[in-house]
């Protein structure tokens, strides 16, 4: 008797489940599921993605896993009475994550469209509906462990990298080439555009505006701890790469207007004192910091670009004005850096390219959980694997007030509702 003979799925035998699998295109798994593990109708309806990923089934073909999950969901929707008899409350609720088994089901990013409807996202524990689901189904929210201790470690990491960068900037200042022997290198942009004296201050002003916007987004984001941890991890990694490029090759000063000459700071304590001055001033000329030799690649471009990408990634797509403003500030900031003749064009280009690539690679790996059970990932990206091991895919852009309501205000709200 075939599975379409009119009987309830809850009464299917293993043979009928086998016929259903063949009809759905999963004949390769009939022996495994029906003959070896005796999967009947009730077992099929309660089958979860975690069951497919973990022992004893442990399926390894991701495409087959996803298609089989969708087929079982469709079967559940077509048989609500059988679900009720079996005590399965919802079709979606039984499909938990497979994070611990190397396969992750990702929800659709609620920012990708402003459409109303059902959006799903994976948490570390189970499926939850996001707040823009219909009323009455908003009780569940994505539960992501903020892991504040990891965030604290990321802050230590980025501050340490900034300290190392400041010290390297002191070293490269001592190695800056003599302008009389090594004049500025030929540069298409610098040779074509006259220098604008106030442009570099404007570039830093663009960075301060972007920083203010990002801090506001970070403050209001529900998962601010994870976002801040990612920012520190990305910033620290890019600036650590910058230390290497500055040390490897010393470029000549890009403009004769720069009063740069080799400067010896004496003993190690003098170098540390100068490095602390750069570190406390964040390397900004607005804070009175003047550096030389730190050209490849542009740290200002890194900060501008990273802040722009963070803002556009973790704010809703409907915030068109904020996204446009963020890109305008980023591009104008880069232009002002070049217009001030503070960096070569290659410095800015490499900084923009590296920052965007690292940001995109990081988030692609994080959103797809590609690091799962990958020894190569743990070797090449140990920091990423450490910070992201308990984050289940895409971070939904949900916002909440960072401070709890005062007790008297909560009492007033409750009293008003009771009336």
Measured distance between the N- and C-terminal CA atoms of the chain, rounded to whole angstroms: 61
Question: Please, are residues 126 and 50 in contact by the beta-carbon 8 Å criterion?
Answer: no
Q: What count of other Cβ atoms lies within 10 Å of the Cβ of residue 129?
A: 21
Q: Is 300 a catalytic residue?
A: yes
The residue from 347, 363, 373, 416 that is catalytic is 347
CA 201 distance to own-chain centroid = 30
Q: Is 94 a catalytic residue?
A: no
Residues with Cβ within 8 Å of residue 241, at least 6 apart in sequence = 354
Rounded to whole angstroms, the Cα distance separating 386 from 340 reads: 40
The residue from 28, 300, 363, 416 that is catalytic is 300
Q: Is 37 a catalytic residue?
A: no
Residue 144's Cβ-count burial label (10 Å; 0-12, 13-18, 19+) is: buried
Q: Please, where are the H alpha helices in 249-344? A: 268-280, 299-313, 320-339
Residue 164's Cβ-count burial label (10 Å; 0-12, 13-18, 19+) is: middle
Strand 120-122, strand 127-129: pairing = antiparallel
Element (H, E) at 129: strand 127-129
The residue from 94, 101, 341, 343 that is catalytic is 343
Question: Please, are residues 77 and 91 in contact by the beta-carbon 8 Å criterion?
Answer: yes
By annotation, the residues acting in catalysis are 300, 343, 347
């Amino acid at each position: 008797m075939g599975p379409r003979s009119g009987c309830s799925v809850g009464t299917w035998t293993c043979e009928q489940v086998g016929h259903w699998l063949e009809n759905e295109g999963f004949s390769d798994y009939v022996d495994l599921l029906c003959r070896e593990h005796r999967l009947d109708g009730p077992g099929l309806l309660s089958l979860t993605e975690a069951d497919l990923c973990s022992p004893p089934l442990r399926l390894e073909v991701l495409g087959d896993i996803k298609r089989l999950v969708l087929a079982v969901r469709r079967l559940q929707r077509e048989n609500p009475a059988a679900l009720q008899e079996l005590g399965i409350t919802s079709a979606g609720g039984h499909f938990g994550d497979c994070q611990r088994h190397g396969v992750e089901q990702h929800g659709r990013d609620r920012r990708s469209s402003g459409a109303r409807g059902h959006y799903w996202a994976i948490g570390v524990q189970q499926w939850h509906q996001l707040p823009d689901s219909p009323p009455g189904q908003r009780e569940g929210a994505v539960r992501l462990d903020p892991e504040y201790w990891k965030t604290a470690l990321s802050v230590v990491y980025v501050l340490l990298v900034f300290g190392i960068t400041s010290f390297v900037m002191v070293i490269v200042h001592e190695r800056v080439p003599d302008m009389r022997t090594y004049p500025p290198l030929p540069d298409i942009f610098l040779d074509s555009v006259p220098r604008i004296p106030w442009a570099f201050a404007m570039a830093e002003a663009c960075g301060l505006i972007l920083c203010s916007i990002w801090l506001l987004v970070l403050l209001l984001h529900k998962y601010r701890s994870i976002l801040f941890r990612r920012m520190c991890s990305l910033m620290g990694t890019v600036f650590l790469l910058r230390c290497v490029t500055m040390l490897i090759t010393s470029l000549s000063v890009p403009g004769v207007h720069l009063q740069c000459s080799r400067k010896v700071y004496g003993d190690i304590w003098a170098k540390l004192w100068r490095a602390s001055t750069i570190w406390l001033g964040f390397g900004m000329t607005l804070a009175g910091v003047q550096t030389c030799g730190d050209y490849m690649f542009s740290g200002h471009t890194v900060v501008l670009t990273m802040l722009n990408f963070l803002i556009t990634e973790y704010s809703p797509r409907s915030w068109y004005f904020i996204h446009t403003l963020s890109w305008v500030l980023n591009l104008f900031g880069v232009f002002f850096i070049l217009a001030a003749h503070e960096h070569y064009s290659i410095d800015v280009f490499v900084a923009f390219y590296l920052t965007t690539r690292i940001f995109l690679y990081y988030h692609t790996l994080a959103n797809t959980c590609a690091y799962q059970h990958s020894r190569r990932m743990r070797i090449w990206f140990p920091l990423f694997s450490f910070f992201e091991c308990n984050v289940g895919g895409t971070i939904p852009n949900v916002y909440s007030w960072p401070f709890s309501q005062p007790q008297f205000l909560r009492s007033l709200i409750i009293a008003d509702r009771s009336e």
